[in-house]
Amino acid sequence: MIFHQIGGQTAKKMSFLNKISLILWIGATLALLSFFTFTLFVIALVVGVVIFTLRFFQQNRPQTTNNKSSKNNPFTNQNHQSGPNKDDDIIDI
């Protein structure tokens, strides 16, 4: 069923040169595609390694804290303690 020809007996067959040419073009296209895909993968891998090493060596620096920005920053960690009744925050449905 796969090799069924629509034109019946009157359909022309592909010549051997056309078949070889088609196989070579498909092979060249896949080789070119895999080459560029592998190149992009290697570039992404190198960029990831560079970013990792930069962050790894940057952690060894002493970090200075700015007290002025922490006063104005609403997202700083603040210790909010609820009252002595900690069972009040449970909602029964």
Residue 46 near residue 53, CB atoms below 8 Å: no
Distance CA 81, CA 89 (A): 12
pLDDT in tens, 28-59: 999 999 999 999 999 999 999 999 999 988 87
Per-residue pLDDT, 13: 84
Which single residue is written with the structure tokens 């997202």? 75
Residue 65 near residue 59, CB atoms below 8 Å: no
Q: Does 73 score more than 90 pLDDT?
A: no
Q: Where is pLDDT greater, at 62 or 58?
A: 58
| Domain segments of the chain as ranges | 17-60
| The pTM of the whole model exceeds 0.85 | no
DSSP 8-class letter at 85: -
